[in-house]
Amino acid sequence: MTPAHMEAALLLAGVLFMLGLISVLIRRNIIFMLISVEIMLNAAGLAFIVAGSKWVQPDGQVMFIFILTMAAAEVSVGLALILQIYHQLKTLDSDAANLMKG
């Protein structure tokens, strides 16, 4: 693999991470914010895979498996929180959940 290809892959990870970051900044719908966090986690995993491929070591893929596990646990807890917020506030607007005592 040529270095240009590797750098392009790393750049793709950066682009995807930045798109997720933009989305989590501009959105007010909490489901969209959760999806954006998933995009960012996926981009981080891609960066690990690229690094593991560069140095021909299994560590990058091991880290990707850990990120995958973490993303699965995070999305289950996040969706439970979204359901709870929707039942309490009847909206998906993240600005509505601005009180500590609902």
Q: Which spans of this chain sit near another protein (rule: CB under 8 A)?
A: 1-3, 5, 7-12, 14-16, 18-23, 25-29, 31-32, 34-36, 38-39, 42, 46, 49-50, 52-53, 56-62, 64-66, 68-77, 79-84, 86-87, 92-93
Alpha-carbon distance of 5 to 16, in angstroms, equals: 16
Q: Which is nearer to another protein, 12 or 99 (CB)?
A: 12
Report, in Å, the least distance between residue 73 CB and another protein: 3
3-state SS record for 5-72:
HHHHHHHHHHHHHHHHHHHHHHCCEHHHHHHHHHHHHHHHHHHHHHHHHHCCCCHHHHHHHHHHHHHH
User: Least distance in Å: CB of 99 to another protein?
Assistant: 18
Q: Report in angstroms how near the CB of residue 66 gets to another protein at its nearest.
A: 6
